[in-house]
Amino acid sequence: MGNLYVLDHPLIHHKLALLRDARTGVKEFREGVGEIAALMCYEAMRDLPTEEREVETPVARARVRVLAGKKLAIVPILRAGLGMVDPILDLVPSAKVGHIGLMRDPETHQPITYYCKLPPDVSQRRVFVLDPMLATGGSAAAAIGYLKEAGCASITMLNLIAAPEGIEVVRKAHPDVDLYVAVVDERLNENAYIVPGLGDAGDRIFGTK
Ligand code: PRP
Ligand code: URA
Per-residue confidence of the chain (209 residues) as pLDDT tens digits? 889 999 999 999 999 999 999 999 999 999 999 999 999 999 999 999 999 999 999 999 999 999 997 799 999 999 999 999 999 999 999 999 999 999 999 999 999 999 999 999 999 999 999 999 999 999 999 999 999 999 999 999 999 999 999 999 999 999 999 999 999 999 999 999 999 999 999 999 999 98
Q: What is the pTM of this model?
A: 0.97
Centre of ligand 2 from the C-alpha of residue 122, in Å: 27
Q: Compute the distance from residue 199 Cα to the ligand 2 centre, in Å.
A: 6
Ligand nearest to the CA of 131: 1
145: closest CA among 124, 164, 127, 121?
127
Gap between the Cα atoms of 180 and 197, Å rounded: 17
Sequence-ordered list of residues with C-beta below 8 angstroms from that of 208, at least 6 positions apart, any chain:
202
Of the candidates 24, 12, 22, the residue with the CA atom closest to the CA atom of residue 161: 12
Burial of 68 (0-12, 13-18, 19+ CB in 10 A): exposed
Catalytic residues: 104, 108, 200, 203
